[in-house]
Amino acid sequence: MFELTFGGGTVMKKIIVGITGASGTTYAISLLKALHDLPDIETHLVMSKWAVKNLELETDLTLTQVKNLADQIYNINDQGAAIASGSFLTTGMVILPASMKTIAGVAYGFADNLIGRAADVCLKERRKLIIVPRESPLSTLHLENMLKLSQMGVEIIPPIPAFYNHPQTIADLVNHNTMKLLDALGVRNEFSPRWQGDQNER
């Protein structure tokens, strides 16, 4: 895991966030907000064309507001971007929500846009890559593609809600997924209540 040390010895983690056109843009926004509030995190954001459309359909946020949550923003077609090269050191990448098209492209190295290329870089450089798949039901082909990625070390974290913490709002459900992503990235957080064990007498 690569980190950047700067003034005063603070350790900076560079994390790529790729947002694709699957439904569930709110999960990505939640993660971006959480990372934005951490001074030792530098976020590099790439959004597909359909991710931008889903932002409009699923949220009240503008594209500018979302971009303001990231430190660096890249065009989806910019194959010359810093994150397209393995020599640009990053901690890793999260693709969320991850469309089945993007997952298939990553699984077979079809880096036809910057999200696919940045993911391909993480694979070849053995850096952390997290996929948050958003589709239901899953076909055999979808499952085979995710299995292929898992066997290459990719972490698959579906946005499945938990109910042991008695969520009261949609935000509570989304925050639980954000907590799991931050955990996977090695970022300390208490973004959502954690399981403390069954306290009932048996």
Is 194 marked as a binding-site residue?
Answer: no
User: Tokens in use for 98?
Assistant: 């991850």
User: Tokens in use for 14?
Assistant: 């560079």
Which helix (H) or strand (E) covers residue 14, if one does? strand 10-19
User: Tokens in use for 46?
Assistant: 């790439």
Is 124 marked as a binding-site residue?
Answer: no
Backbone angles phi, psi at 186, to 5 degrees: 75, 25
CA 80 to chain centre: 21
Residues facing 17 on adjacent strands: 45, 94
Is 87 marked as a binding-site residue?
Answer: no
Q: How many angstroms separate the first and last alpha carbons of the chain? A: 43
Is 100 marked as a binding-site residue?
Answer: yes
Is 169 marked as a binding-site residue?
Answer: no
Is 62 marked as a binding-site residue?
Answer: no
Is 48 marked as a binding-site residue?
Answer: yes
User: Tokens in use for 130?
Assistant: 């997290």
Is 134 marked as a binding-site residue?
Answer: yes
Is 33 marked as a binding-site residue?
Answer: no
**How many other CB atoms sit within 10 Å of the CB of residue 138?**
14
Is 80 marked as a binding-site residue?
Answer: no
Q: By the 8 A CB rule, do 55 and 66 touch? A: yes
Is 26 marked as a binding-site residue?
Answer: no
The CA distances from residue 140 to 114, 160, 185, in Å, are 27, 20, 28
Q: Which residues are annotated as a binding site?
A: 21-23, 48, 99-102, 134, 164, 180
Residues placed in the known binding site for FMN: 21-23, 48, 99-102, 134
User: Per the annotation, where are the binding residues for dimethylallyl phosphate?
Assistant: 164, 180
